[in-house]
Amino acid sequence: MRDFLRLLRLLGPSWRWQATGILLGVLVIVSNVGLLALSGWFIAGMGLAGLGLLRIEYFLPAAAIRALAIARALGRYLERLVTHEATFRLLSDLRVWFYIRLEPLAPARLQRHRAGDLLSRIRADIDSLDNVYLRVLAPSVTALLCTVLILGFLARISTGAALADFLGLALVGLALPLAAFRAGRRSGRQAVALRGQLRAEIADTVRGFEELQVFGAMERQTSRHEAAYAQLTALQRRETLVEAAAGGAALFLVQATMLAALVVSIPLAMARTLPGPDIAMIALLVLASFDAVSGLPGAYRALGQTLAAARRIFEIVDTEPAVREPAQEAAPPTGFDITFRHVSLRYDDAEAWALRDVSFHIPAGGALGVMGTTGSGKTSLGNLLLRFWEFQEGEILVGGVPIRTLSGDTMRSYCAVIAQQTHLFNTSIRENLRIARPAATAAEMERALRDAGILDEVRAMPQGLDTMVGEMGTRLSGGQARRVAIARAFLKDAPILILDEPTEGLDAFSEHIVINALGRLKQGRTTLLITHRSQALRDIAQVFELERGTVLCRSKT
């Protein structure tokens, strides 16, 4: 219930569209009920008039029937238009709302989620939240308003028929949806979790195609997916059964209600306390009144899934970011020397220290080389500077300003990173460069590419700057991808440079070109160079070695 109320609160921003959609829904149903009831009355009345049993004024009812038919058609069109607009607005509001809360969690708090599962939450789970408005809230409110109007009108003609209709509507509109919700809740929750898991596993499989083929493990992997699919199909079968049972029960109740309404009103017509044509009107009115509630059992059956999706979204949204932003940001630093004073970092309370009592100073425009075995804590130094993680002890200052008093975005705006796995997006070289500076001109890009030592190669490509780099830059060689990343750093022109194994995985020739490009990039920037290749450290004055998070020895090269 708490999740449902929280979901309702999220519907806020586009409430006008939603309310208009509901009112139009009421107009459509009331017009439809009115049209059928009036038509029934009119046809029966005309029949009796033809037999000379009744005098009837037909001009007004005929005009009203036309008016109701037009209102129904026009209302339906407008209702679809408005409810879709409301839904799309709602979806876009929800996506922005979610993204704003997701961003501060990256990368620290998102690492426990698998990429495919995260994608599933961002896309499918958010998408399914529109059910709340489109399939639950709007039809429920519409049903309530229509029921009041229809029963109010029917009660004036026959209290007994109104009572029968009330009972039928309560069963189909309240009891059945509740039963369907209870029956579908568990399987819905399981289906949402299973779909997320499947997406994550399939994303993993697609990424690991090459390995699976090389090791001949494709069949084993796909059989795992098949088992999960079989489970999902069983859940879907159960959901369909619940929906079919609810649909069948609703149909039965509709007919039974109409029969009951006739049973109580026909004796009144026989006793001449009710005009004959009213019987036809009552029958059709009762039948049509179920239009207002017929969608509810199916909608409430799906509500279990929607709530499960909402819970998965709230789970992420409620996560505390790893780094708390300062309430008020300090004045920006004027210089960019970096000081670590007795800094200690632990990624998790249960884990060992990744950095312990680390102190160093890099003068503005100077460089520090950090060496160390794998897992010794080198990358963690960069993680702290980028404000991806919070350190538990000590102090880090940039230009004399404690970085805890600067926002994460501000700190990241001061830094450019080139790592072994710097990500290139699956788009053109031009677009990959624009990430660093969206307004960069072609001339600026070319200058950055020249400084990175790759301009001639880009020019020689048939599409030049518009060459697509492929997924993770796979259409470029390792050295070229690294140099495009360096060009991006030139364009960003940040005062701090974090180089994390920038030449790792390159052959001697590429390494030489990349080191030269980095030499140009380092000019005038405060540089933290993480490497275990002495070649890359050749012109770095200050070098230290980390072991298990502590500074082992300092040396000058």
Ligand X SMILES: Nc1ncnc2c1ncn2[C@@H]1O[C@H](COP(=O)(O)OP(=O)(O)OP(=O)(O)O)[C@@H](O)[C@H]1O
| Binding footprint of ligand X on the chain (CB under 6 A) | 111, 347, 354, 372, 374-380
Closer residue to ligand X (CB): 111 or 463: 111
Q: What are phi and psi of 326, to 5 degrees?
A: -65, 145
Closer residue to ligand X (CB): 120 or 531: 531
Q: Identify the burial level of 206 via C-beta atoms within 10 angstroms of its C-beta, where 0-12 means exposed, 13-18 middle and 19 or more buried.
A: exposed
Least CB distance to ligand X at residue 373 (A): 7
Sign of the Cα torsion 515, 520, 523, 525 reads negative
Closer residue to ligand X (CB): 177 or 382: 382
Least CB distance to ligand X at residue 546 (A): 7
Q: What are phi and psi of 276, to 5 degrees?
A: -50, -50
Query: How many whole angstroms separate alpha carbon 419 and alpha carbon 422?
Result: 5
Single out the residue of 63, 93, 71, 67 nearest to residue 23, CA to CA: 71
Beta bridge partners of 547: 550
Q: What is the DSSP letter of 406?
A: S
- The set of residues, in sequence order, having a beta carbon less than 8 Å from that of 233 and lying 6+ positions away, is none
Query: How many whole angstroms separate alpha carbon 105 and alpha carbon 114?
Result: 14
Least CB distance to ligand X at residue 502 (A): 13
What length is written for the chain? 557
Which helix (H) or strand (E) covers residue 341, if one does? strand 338-345
Three-state SS string over 266-290 comes to: HHHHHCCCCCCHHHHHHHHHHHHHH
Is cis: bond before 107, omega within 30 of 0? yes
Least CB distance to ligand X at residue 109 (A): 10
The H-assigned helical ranges of 103-175 are 115-120, 126-128, 130-131, 138-157, 159-170
Our measurement of the distance from residue 51's CA atom to the centroid of its chain's CA atoms, rounded to an integer in Å, reads 65
Least CB distance to ligand X at residue 22 (A): 47
253, 286 Cβ separation under 8 angstroms: no
Q: What is the DSSP letter of 428?
A: B
Query: How many whole angstroms separate alpha carbon 165 and alpha carbon 177?
Result: 17
Closer residue to ligand X (CB): 109 or 430: 109
Closer residue to ligand X (CB): 110 or 124: 110
Least CB distance to ligand X at residue 489 (A): 19
Rg (CA), the chain: 34
Closer residue to ligand X (CB): 343 or 491: 343
Query: How many whole angstroms separate alpha carbon 459 and alpha carbon 135?
Result: 55
Least CB distance to ligand X at residue 303 (A): 37
Closer residue to ligand X (CB): 423 or 459: 423
Least CB distance to ligand X at residue 473 (A): 20
Least CB distance to ligand X at residue 531 (A): 9
Least CB distance to ligand X at residue 352 (A): 7
Least CB distance to ligand X at residue 355 (A): 8
Strands 415-419 and 338-345: unpaired
Q: What is the DSSP letter of 254?
A: H
Closer residue to ligand X (CB): 302 or 358: 358
Closer residue to ligand X (CB): 377 or 495: 377
Closer residue to ligand X (CB): 292 or 370: 370
Closer residue to ligand X (CB): 372 or 479: 372
Residue 319 tokens read as 């996560």
Helix 296-317 × helix 2-10 angle, to 10°: 90
Least CB distance to ligand X at residue 505 (A): 13
Closer residue to ligand X (CB): 140 or 376: 376
